[in-house]
Chain A
Amino acid sequence: MSDEANKGLLSPLRRKLLMGMAAVPALTMLPRASFAQAPATSAVNTTGLAVTDTEVTVGILHSATGTMAISETGSIEAEKLAIEQINAMGGVLGRKIKFIQEDGASDWPTFAEKAKKLLVNDKVAAIMGCWTSASRKAVLPVMEQYNGMLYYPTFYEGLEQSKNVIYTGQEATQQILAGLNWIAKEKGAKTFFFIGSDYIWPRTSNKIARKHVENVLKGKVVGEEYYALGSTQFNSVINKIKLTKPDVIFTDVVGGSNVAFYKQLKAAGIDLAKQPLLTISVTEDEIDGIGGENIAGAYACMKYFQSLDNANNKAFVPAFKKAWGEKTVIGDVTQAAYLGPWLWKLTVEKAGSFDVDKIAAASPGVEFKGAPEGYVRIHENHHLWSKTRVGRAKLDGQFELIYETADLVEPDPFPKGYQ
């Protein structure tokens, strides 16, 4: 309002002069200025969170030990990097971010316990954490009961939405549909063979994929197989694939099984350069264990690849490698985890407050233009608008971008006609 008043009173020239003069002292004391501008703690924190005049505390809750440490290590590294970068830029509302890291130890009750500890004892303003759906489901009631804010990085099966969670990975329809459309069009694929690990995410994802193949693409699913988590013998199913000769093998096998599956596929003489295979579970992280020579030629469908060619990513990848070693690779989830602290910072600044209720309300519409994947925006349903991409695995363990959707894909955690 005061701007409008000034416009009326001052001539354009005088305004410019005045602004220039005002800027000179402001520039010289910029670092201190941002400090001085930090709003009072009592104003930005009305619910007793761990916020002081100089610091704000957040929690990082992942498995650093146990089976899931393989996957979650990348997320921890990404979140720490984001926090470090935000602090280097002056922090959030003039406050440096301090983090408390807890270990979920690949055990779901432990996740719930540690989440409670972070919220009740440490009063953290937000938690970056969880990886498997099981851990998120264990933590969710705690987040809702004690009104916390969780930034969840993994692509997952959907069918969930909470005021207390921001889902920075893709939900199933976002990830799968565009990829299936692409491969059906590009390869003229009509018959699909599904193979997955036997738990909720592959089963839900395949259900969505099957509906899409049958109802939209008018194709046929010639086989759908599940193997127990940790299964290492796939020779029988590979024979079935040879027998049914599908146009596309569609896989969501996870963990150590993944490694066994691709090694045996290769050993059985299935050449992925000739037999199209679309996976939604293999990122650069998994290829480290599988070996590039075993999976080269396969297509993966997700939202981020380390090789993406954009300015944000070109800054992000070297920064990540500098922080965590030249040999580390960055998969889809690692990038999504990196978004968490940034989205939280932007939302806090938009809300002008650390209060969880205000952040939950301010989240829809928050956009992050510096995302390594390009650009993301939070949807009303607390998931992200993001592009879906298809990459082809190369010998060196990286993906080559083959296709990306023209527009951002709308997140739809409760897809009609797919359940």
Chain B
Amino acid sequence: MFGDYSLGDLGSIFVMQGFAGLILFSVYVLMALGLAIIFGQMGVINMAHGEFMILGAYVTWMTSNLFQSYMPSLFGGYFFLAMILAFLASGALGMLVEWVLIRHLYKRPLDTLLATWGLSLMLQQAYRSVFGAREVGVDLPQWMLGSLHVTDSIEVPINGVFVMCLTVLITIAVAYVMYKSRWGRQVRAVVQNRIMAGAVGINTEKVDRYTFGLGCGIAGIAGSAFTMIGSTGPTSGQLYIVDTFLVVVFGGAASLLGTIASAFSISQTQSTLEFFMSGSMAKVLTLLAVVGILMLRPQGLFALKVRK
């Protein structure tokens, strides 16, 4: 397949392909960060993660409509406000859900699977009733469309760069909050031993609520960012849930570093394979590799060492 191409052509294709892999990597990390907190730290199997993302996407859509109708001159910057609103909306819904549903289930984590699955169906139908069954198109400001022209054959998609920067920022923020701040220490204490944490004076209920809210809020930001590359409809969240769990489980549930490493290896494998074979086959081989590695290392790539 490379016979007819000059070295220059090939070089630029490899650069582009490497970039495609990096974009996929950032998308995976962004999808998985929220779940890494909720599933990884709290142990809640949140099947409604995709729906929290789509709430963020809908908030973005509403914000863009609002700006177009009332403040067209500021349209270029609406996306930043939309992401903040998406974070707040998804986070608030997350805290509500935690209070109504999740807090009763910490002692039986497997049941959270069923409860949140039901929640995801309810949210989907709610979106359908409120926003309609059809997909909505989110208008982007002009500067976010198109690509940066590097050379004649290398074009870098602007939205890809945007997602990458966003991912880096949010990852740093999450890492800081979880591992450096006082509150992060409380979260980890509660996860490791709820009773002891309570006994030393940590308000475990409050910590749980805010942690769940934070995870959902990050999902909202991810959903907001994905309006640039994917679809926004009542069931669009379903498109992400499998990949998200794959990344978190493969990385080792409780490890943020694991999530990043796993997102990197899965995305690079997939985008390299996709280039040499068809999309479906690439996916199959990637999944096979993940299954194989998980059989050898059931705890995932990175795992906390704990005394059993």
Q: Interface residues of B toward A: which range?
A: 35 or more
CB-based nearest B residue for A224: B278
- A291: B residues at CB distance < 8 A: 137-140
Q: How long is the Cα–Cα vector from A280 to B146 in the complex, in angstroms?
A: 24
CB-based nearest B residue for A65: B125
Q: Interface residues of A toward B: which range?
A: 35 or more
Encoded as 1 (CB less than 8 Å from any B CB) or 0, chain A from 263 to 294 comes to 11011110000000000000001111111110
Task: Tell me which residues from 194 to 247 in chain B have a Cβ below 8 Å from any Cβ of chain A.
Answer: 226, 228-236, 238-240
Given A73-B134, A256-B239, A267-B147: A289 and B232 interface contact (C-beta under 8 Å): yes
**Residue in A70, A233, A263, A288 whose beta carbon sits within 8 Å of that of B228 in the complex:** A263
- B274: A residues at CB distance < 8 A: 236-237
- A230: B residues at CB distance < 8 A: 238-239
- B105: A residues at CB distance < 8 A: none
Task: Tell yes or no: B164 within 8 A of A by CB.
Answer: no
B20 touches A227 (CB 8 A): no
Task: Tell yes or no: B29 within 8 A of A by CB.
Answer: no
B279 touches A242 (CB 8 A): no
CB-based nearest B residue for A243: B13
Task: Tell me which residues from 93 to 137 in chain B have a Cβ below 8 Å from any Cβ of chain A.
Answer: 125, 128, 132-137
B275 touches A259 (CB 8 A): no
CB-based nearest A residue for B133: A69
B230 touches A267 (CB 8 A): no
B279 touches A289 (CB 8 A): no
**Residue in B23, B153, B278 whose beta carbon sits within 8 Å of that of A235 in the complex:** B23
A289 touches B128 (CB 8 A): no
B230 touches A260 (CB 8 A): yes
Encoded as 1 (CB less than 8 Å from any A CB) or 0, chain B from 1 to 18 comes to 000010001000100110
A239 touches B16 (CB 8 A): yes
Encoded as 1 (CB less than 8 Å from any B CB) or 0, chain A from 62 to 86 comes to 0011110110111000000000000
- A264: B residues at CB distance < 8 A: 157, 229
**Residue in A64, A227, A258 whose beta carbon sits within 8 Å of that of B279 in the complex:** A227
Task: Tell yes or no: A225 within 8 A of B by CB.
Answer: yes
Q: How long is the Cα–Cα vector from A287 to B134 in the complex, in angstroms?
A: 11
- B271: A residues at CB distance < 8 A: 233, 235-236
B18 to chain A, nearest CB (A): 10
Q: How long is the Cα–Cα vector from A275 to B147 in the complex, in angstroms?
A: 16
B157 touches A256 (CB 8 A): no
- B153: A residues at CB distance < 8 A: 242
**Residue in A65, A224, A267, A289 whose beta carbon sits within 8 Å of that of B231 in the complex:** A289
Q: How long is the Cα–Cα vector from A264 to B229 in the complex, in angstroms?
A: 6
A258 touches B133 (CB 8 A): no
- A255: B residues at CB distance < 8 A: 231
- B155: A residues at CB distance < 8 A: 268-269
Q: How long is the Cα–Cα vector from A288 to B135 in the complex, in angstroms?
A: 7
**Residue in A69, A256, A290 whose beta carbon sits within 8 Å of that of B236 in the complex:** A256
Task: Tell yes or no: B33 within 8 A of A by CB.
Answer: no
Q: How long is the Cα–Cα vector from A227 to B132 in the complex, in angstroms?
A: 27
Given A237-B279, A239-B17: A289 and B234 interface contact (C-beta under 8 Å): no
B200 to chain A, nearest CB (A): 45
Q: How long is the Cα–Cα vector from A366 to B145 in the complex, in angstroms?
A: 49
- B236: A residues at CB distance < 8 A: 256
Q: How long is the Cα–Cα vector from A298 to B125 in the complex, in angstroms?
A: 33
A244 to chain B, nearest CB (A): 9
Task: Tell yes or no: B297 within 8 A of A by CB.
Answer: no
Task: Tell yes or no: A137 within 8 A of B by CB.
Answer: no
Task: Tell yes or no: B86 within 8 A of A by CB.
Answer: no
A288 touches B134 (CB 8 A): yes
Given A227-B279, A233-B27, A256-B236: A267 and B128 interface contact (C-beta under 8 Å): no
Q: How long is the Cα–Cα vector from A264 to B278 in the complex, in angstroms?
A: 18
Most chain B CB within a 10 A radius of its CB, from A264, A267, A293:
A267
- A263: B residues at CB distance < 8 A: 159, 228-230
B157 touches A269 (CB 8 A): yes
Task: Tell yes or no: A357 within 8 A of B by CB.
Answer: no
Task: Tell me which residues from 190 to 249 in chain A have a Cβ below 8 Å from any Cβ of chain B.
Answer: 198, 224-228, 230-233, 235-240, 242-243
Encoded as 1 (CB less than 8 Å from any A CB) or 0, chain B from 264 to 283 comes to 00000011001100111011
Task: Tell me which residues from 261 to 305 in chain B have a Cβ below 8 Å from any Cβ of chain A.
Answer: 270-271, 274-275, 278-280, 282-283
A residues whose Cβ falls under 8 Å from a Cβ of B: 64-67, 69-70, 72-74, 198, 224-228, 230-233, 235-240, 242-243, 255-260, 263-264, 266-269, 285-293
11 intermolecular pairs with C-beta atoms under 8 Å apart: A65-B125, A69-B133, A228-B280, A230-B239, A233-B270, A233-B271, A236-B279, A242-B13, A255-B231, A269-B155, A286-B135
- Counting from the closest, the 7 A-B pairs by CB-CB distance are A289-B135, A235-B20, A259-B231, A267-B157, A269-B155, A236-B274, A256-B231
